Amino acid sequence: MTSAMTRMVARLLLLPTLITAVAILVKGYTQPGDGFSAGVVASLGVLLQLMVFGREEAEKIPGVRQAGTLAFVGLLAALGLAVWPLLLGDAVLTHYPPPGAKVLHFGTLEFITAVLFDCAIFVLVFGFVVGTVGAISRAIEDADEQEAP
């Protein structure tokens, strides 16, 4: 069992980590988002919960139990966004609106398909990391259970 201090810090850190992840998701290093980094940050936040509180507790966070499925949904969404321009006669991975065109704003958030693509990458990375570590922890638990009785 982890100490009370560790548990408190872990609990306190979860929300700020996720908010940081969302911030990176919509605004990456040089503008439009960075789904990969955001995915890594968010999954690190969740992995901390997994380490400190155990798998059962961590699975109460939405999306953690279905992480494996999420990874492939993210991959499919990203691929879909990559293929879509082909149907419109453009090169793969073309983003809309094109450079120079007027972009819809919501505060500093810009509505362009590149951000959507990053969201898909975010889901993919988050799902993969959390899913893989979850699977490993499940395998360890199974092995422990076999030894215990």
Partner 1 sequence: MTGAALLPLSVLVPWVLAASLALADGRRPLVAWVSVVGIGAGFACVMGLTFAVLRGGPVEMVAGGWPEGVGITLRADALGVTFAAVSVGVILASLVYEVLGGVRSRTFPALVAFMAAGLTGLFLTGDAFNFYVFFEISMTAAYALTGYREKDYQVRAAFIFAVINLLGSVIFLIAVAALYHVTGTLDMEVMARRAAGVQPSSIISIAVAVLVAFSLKLGLFPFHFWLPAVYVGSHPPVAAILSGALANIGGYGLLRFGADVLPRELELGTAAVLVLGTASIIYGALQAISRQETAEVLAYSAIGQAGYILVAIGIGGPVAYAAAVVYAVVNSLNKALLFLAAGGRGRLVGAAFAVGAFSVVGVPPAAGFVAKLAMFRASVEAGSVALTALIFLGGALSFVYAFQIYQRIYWTPEDGKRKAGPLPARILVGLLAVLILAAGLWPEPLLVLGEAAAGVLEGR
Phi (first) and psi of residue 115, to 5 degrees: -65, -40
Under the binding rule (CB under 8 A), the answer on residue 82 touching partner 1 is yes
For partner 1, the closer of residues 94 and 137 by Cβ is 94
Under the binding rule (CB under 8 A), the answer on residue 91 touching partner 1 is yes
Distance between CA 9 and CA 103 in Å, rounded?
41
Under the binding rule (CB under 8 A), the answer on residue 139 touching partner 1 is no
H helical segments located in 27-112: 35-53, 55-58, 67-87
- Between CA 115 and CA 123, with CA 120 as vertex, the angle to 5 degrees is 125
- Between CA 34 and CA 45, with CA 113 as vertex, the angle to 5 degrees is 30
Under the binding rule (CB under 8 A), the answer on residue 65 touching partner 1 is no
Binding span for partner 1 by CB under 8 A among 1-9, 44-52, 55-63, 74-82: 74-82
Under the binding rule (CB under 8 A), the answer on residue 23 touching partner 1 is no
Phi (first) and psi of residue 31, to 5 degrees: 70, -150
Minimum distance from residue 134 beta carbon to partner 1 (Å): 16
The binding site for partner 1 (CB under 8 A) comprises 69, 72-73, 75-76, 79-80, 82-83, 85-86, 90-95
